[in-house]
Structure 1
Amino acid sequence: MTRRHRLWRACVAEFLGTGMLTLAVVGSGIAATSLSADAGVQLAINAAATGLALYVIITVFAPVSGAHLNTVVSLVDAVFGGRPWRHLAGYLPAQFVGGILGVVLANTIFGRSPVSISTADRYSSAHLAAEIVATAGLVLVIFTLSRGAAHKNVSVAVAAYIAAAYFFTSSTSFANPAVTIGRIFTDSFAGISPISALAFLPAQVVGALIGIAATVLLSPSRQVASTSRADQTLEDERAV
């Protein structure tokens, strides 16, 4: 019988998983700039490390929380009925706090100031359009696969999509509000200025809505498969 998990364990998993993700994104970005002066090589290192880390993190935490690691994914999961809306009261803060602390840890272990506000300006119409595309694609990948027999391939597909989107989007595919906010706190390769981050958030919401529409169009079944086995293992909140 599958072990049942309390909601608090799922929130801890989201906290740790999102923190590990931002640690990988920011840490590999800092490492990349010390390994090469070529921007293309730096981006390749950052993308590869992020994709590999994503696969491992999703594989580890999916049985506990669904490994959303992403505010947009949690919201869309609730829209599709994959989990109760009340669970978001725990998931979303865990993701944002985990994302910020992961960045702080990355700064620290590379000998930088734990917190440094990014000056990287990513605010332009091209960047915002890229975030809409990146987020829509991510939602489509996750929830189209989750609704069908290929749900076991989600971790590989998400990792591959994000690694590729580093190159085919001008924004390098943030596609994640929690990670976007976290990356404000590092003035390094992977950072983003506060004004740019705030502009990215509505673009990501628009992308999520487009992703929802595309998912329903391609996979209209009302019987939504959960984003992971965790949806069958979370205990009712009355037991928490």
Structure 2
Amino acid sequence: MLVTVVIGSGIAAEQLSPGNTGLQLLQNSTATVLGLAVLILVFGPASGAHFNPVVTTVDWWFGRRTGGLPLPHVGLYAIAQILGAIAGAVLANLMYDLAAVDISGHDRATAPVLLAEVVATAGLIVLIFALARTGRASLSAAAVGAYIGAAYWFTSSTSFANPAVTIGRIFSDTFAGIAPASVAPFIAAQIVGALIGAALVVALYPDVEAAAENVVVPHEETTFAEIKTAV
């Protein structure tokens, strides 16, 4: 749904404001801010609103000694995140009567843009884990939405800051798309940004490990055994 919001609003912006890139970006960013906040509220209690593989990985790293997210779950989350992102792109295309899969030709991987992705991802990591550590994870929906909305404008990359979303955006040759050749550099920049962000979090909050279970939103974990019993 996150990728559907990002791509769908991008397609709408292209159709409603042809030739006006600034207005298109405003429309796209506004929908993304609101959609992301709502999705965090909806899915947070179930999964923690882990929409982002680098956030999930950093969360595992911080909580690995305190009973946080198990490493096998990181892989399962990443699979779900990537498949969900691809499905979201297909859904957005179909809603606008486009080809279900249309590989993007939008090359983005220039040095300034990759630097922007490092900055965007580092800032996102710092925000999420600072909120968790200071007992304000309940504000994540508003705060993360606001940060991504701002980063649409202050970064030259328009703040993808998410490897799964980056992969999903390959599949729509529209305003929000990204060419396959740009994906690996983008993800590399996001990983670097996540490492920098994690280092900053540790510097600011040395005991951040204690808050790992509250990222992005505190939630109840359902085990596979519980699922099997329920079925």
TM-score (norm 1): 0.88
Partner secondary structure for residue 191 of structure 1: coil
Q: CA deviation at 1:237?
A: 4.7
Residue equivalent to 2:14: 33
One-letter amino acid of the counterpart of residue 73, structure 1: V
Q: Which residue of 2 aligns with 1:93?
A: 79
Choose the corresponding residue for 1:69, options 22, 27, 51: 51
Structure 1 counterpart of 2:11, one-letter code: I
Cα distance, 1:149 vs. partner?
A: 2.2
Residues 1:224 and 2:205 are matched in the alignment = no
Map 1:3-82; keep pairs closer than 5 Å. Answer: 20-37=1-18, 38-81=20-63, 82=68
Partner of 1:160: 146
Per mean C-alpha deviation after superposition, the further-off stretch among 145-154 and 64-73 is 145-154
Structure 2 distance, partners of 1:151, 1:80, is 16
The superposition leaves residues 112-159 of structure 1 with CA deviations (integer Å, 9 ceiling, x where unpaired) of 001011000101001110000000000000011111122211111100
1: distance between equivalents of 2:181 and 2:119?
A: 20
CA distance in 2, matches of 1:22, 1:152: 23
Large movers: runs of 4+ above 6 Å: none
**Could you list the runs of 5+ residues in structure 1 that have no partner in the other structure?**
1-19
Partners of 1:60 and 1:177 lie apart in 2 by: 22
Offset at residue 229 of structure 1 (A): 2.2
Q: Which runs of 5+ in 2 are unaligned?
A: none
- In structure 2, distance between residues paired with 1:131 and 1:108: 29
Query: 1:129 is matched with which residue?
Result: 115
2:189 pairs with 185, 200, 203, which one? Answer: 203
Assess if the C-alpha contact under 8 Å between 2:126 and 2:201 holds in 1: yes
After TM superposition, the structure 1 = structure 2 runs for residues 105-144 of structure 1, keeping only pairs within 5 Å, are: 105-144=91-130
- 2:221 maps to 1:234: yes
RMSD of aligned Cα (Å): 1.2
What is the TM-score when the length of structure 2 is the normalising length?
Answer: 0.92
Whole-Å Cα distance in 2 between the matches of residues 73 and 136 of structure 1? 10
Asked if the contact 2:137–2:218 (Cα under 8 Å) also holds between the matched residues in 1, the reply is: no
